[in-house]
Amino acid sequence: MAKLAWTYWNRGRFDKAAKLEIEVLLARIKILGVDHVDTLTAMANLAGTYQKLGNRDEAEILESKVLEGRRRILGDNHPDTLTAMGYVAVSFRYRGKSKEAEALDMEVLESSRRRLGENHPETLRAMGRLAGTYQAQERWEDAEILGLKTLEGCEKAFSRHNGYHPDTLSRCIEDRRGQGLM
């Protein structure tokens, strides 16, 4: 069911994807429990679909639950936790909570820089999200500076590949939820 939901998602059939993702989530809660990593992944997938459908309130609630669960199970610096933080930040931005978004974006960026380095695709994604938050705050100069730095980092990563698979590099431009660099 999860793979079929993913297929619907990729074809832009978000209503059908959401229905299946709800079934997947309920089944995982029943079988694996709320705090299982696969259950949290199902919850994150449904949150992303809700974002696409414009259900911002529901998406933020689910994304916050995913973040809480991943922090509890995996710790604050696990890559999946950082990803969840980034999605909560985007939810905050969409709902006009730009200060909260900025704080999370900064936390993700600093952690990614420490763990992965300045030009890792995940660090570049975090930079791009922060640039998007600066845009939402109408901090145009900050958004431009960080956006250009992100673009430069992506160009370097793409030109040399730095040992990254091209699919990984493409994530520094756009992720599953289509939120992209900015």
What CATH number does the domain containing 133 carry?
1.25.40.10
pLDDT for residue 122: 85
Q: Are residues 32 and 86 located together in one domain of the fold? A: no
Q: Is residue 95 part of a domain?
A: yes
Global pTM reads 0.80
Q: Is residue 70 part of a domain?
A: no
pLDDT for residue 131: 93
pLDDT for residue 161: 56
Q: Are residues 177 and 100 located together in one domain of the fold? A: yes
Phi and psi dihedrals of 180, rounded to 5?
55, -165
> What does the buried/exposed string (b/e) look like for 84-122 if buried means 16 or more CB atoms within 10 Å of the residue's CB?
bbbbbbbbbbbeebbebbbebbebbbebbeeebeebbbb
- Predicted confidence pLDDT, tens digits, the chain (182 residues): 889 989 999 999 999 999 999 999 999 999 999 999 999 999 999 999 999 999 999 999 999 999 999 999 999 888 899 999 999 999 999 889 999 999 999 999 999 999 888 888 888 989 999 999 999 999 999 999 998 998 888 887 776 555 555 555 555 554 434 444 43
pLDDT for residue 160: 59
Q: Are residues 107 and 161 located together in one domain of the fold? A: yes
Q: Is residue 66 part of a domain?
A: no
Q: Are residues 7 and 91 located together in one domain of the fold? A: no
Q: Are residues 81 and 139 located together in one domain of the fold? A: yes
Q: Is residue 69 part of a domain?
A: no
Residue 42 belongs to what domain range? 1-59
- Closest listed residue to residue 102, CA positions, set 138, 131, 70, 78: 131
pLDDT for residue 182: 38
For the chain, the domain total comes to 2
Where does residue 173 rank: exposed (0-12), middle (13-18), buried (19+ CB within 10 A)? middle
pLDDT for residue 151: 86
Q: Are residues 165 and 115 located together in one domain of the fold? A: yes
